[in-house]
Amino acid sequence: MRIDIITVHPPLLESPFSHSILKRAKEKGLAEVNLINLRDYAINKHKNVDDYAFGGGAGMVMMVEPIALCIEDLKSKRDYDEVIYMSPDGELFDQPMANKLSLTKNLIILCGHYKGVDERVREHFITKEISIGNYVLSGGELAAAVVSDAIIRLLPGVLNDETSALSDSFQDNMVAPPVYSRPAEFRGWKIPDVLLSGHEANINQWRYDQSLKRTKERRPGLLRDGE
């Protein structure tokens, strides 16, 4: 998989892709993440990529021309499954969307900044708009890192235990059950006896019951009617 992230602040994204699972995915050749500096496509010597909004108002707007030049340059070299814009009013990102995007081959992610991008970018270049929550960040870089992480960890071979991702929260419309590790007792706090029983069916049933209970208590909106 290849993800090309267009940003005005590439250093903001260097760390997330230089450690842990994402780093291993890149080293294994399973994922390629490229940080594209939008200022390389600026139309003047000052490297400006923003300007005042028509009609007035506070804040600057990312200009259409540099973004158009950048996306067109990238698309001249390969086909992309989606051109994604990280936006507070985009479709709310969730696990099913991550699953679907993990099956793609090439993605462009455009990081907004300032007051956003010229609307003509959204009308003529963007194929999918994504939000990671009902709040506003200083720019789309951190949101792009979140989306990329959620996608890349699902790629076959990225996790040491490929079944691990299948038991993550939200994969079955429920949050994950409680988990425990050694020691079995700490300061008098004991783990549930069933986890020490070695009875796989009982353990699986306990985990399902706990997952359902926790989902009802914390995220009831995930459950379908009748559950």
pLDDT, tens digit (0-9, with 9 covering 90-100), for 46-90 = 999 999 998 888 889 999 999 999 999 999 999 999 999 999 999
Q: Read off the CATH number of the domain in which 105 is found.
A: 3.40.1280.10
Please tell me whether residues 137 and 200 are part of one structural domain: no
Please tell me whether residues 123 and 195 are part of one structural domain: no
Residue 183 has pLDDT above 60, yes or no: yes
Please tell me whether residues 189 and 103 are part of one structural domain: no
Residue 29 has pLDDT above 90, yes or no: yes
Q: Read off the CATH number of the domain in which 176 is found.
A: 1.10.1270.20
Report how far residue 47's alpha carbon sits from residue 168's, in angstroms, rounded to the nearest whole number: 43
Please tell me whether residues 126 and 194 are part of one structural domain: no
Please tell me whether residues 186 and 83 are part of one structural domain: no
Residue 201 lies in a domain: yes
Provide the domain count of the chain.
Answer: 2
Strands (E), the chain: 2-7, 32-37, 50-52, 60-62, 82-92, 106-111, 128-131, 185-186, 189-190
Report how far residue 23's alpha carbon sits from residue 21's, in angstroms, rounded to the nearest whole number: 5
Please tell me whether residues 148 and 184 are part of one structural domain: no
Q: What confidence category does residue 31 fall into, taking pLDDT thresholds of 50, 70 and 90?
A: very high
Residue 85 lies in a domain: yes
Radius of gyration of the chain (CA): 22
Residue 204: the pLDDT is: 94
Average pLDDT over residues 17-40: 95
Domain closes at, from 110, 127, 152: 152
Residue 145 lies in a domain: yes
Please tell me whether residues 121 and 189 are part of one structural domain: no
Domain closes at, from 152, 181, 213: 152
Report how far residue 47's alpha carbon sits from residue 43's, in angstroms, rounded to the nearest whole number: 7
Is 223 in contact with 215 (CB distance < 8 Å)? yes
Please tell me whether residues 58 and 110 are part of one structural domain: yes
Please tell me whether residues 22 and 115 are part of one structural domain: yes
Residue 157 lies in a domain: no
Is 63 in contact with 76 (CB distance < 8 Å)? no
Residue 163 lies in a domain: no
Residue 169: the pLDDT is: 52
Q: What confidence category does residue 222 fall into, taking pLDDT thresholds of 50, 70 and 90?
A: confident
Residue 162 lies in a domain: no
Residue 165: the pLDDT is: 56
Residue 226 has pLDDT above 60, yes or no: no
Please tell me whether residues 124 and 93 are part of one structural domain: yes
DSSP 28: T
Residue 225 has pLDDT above 90, yes or no: no
Please tell me whether residues 92 and 19 are part of one structural domain: yes
| 207: Cβ contacts below 8 Å, ≥ 6 apart | 177
Please tell me whether residues 131 and 202 are part of one structural domain: no
Domain closes at, from 124, 152, 180: 152
pTM of the model: 0.85
Domain residues for 204? 169-222
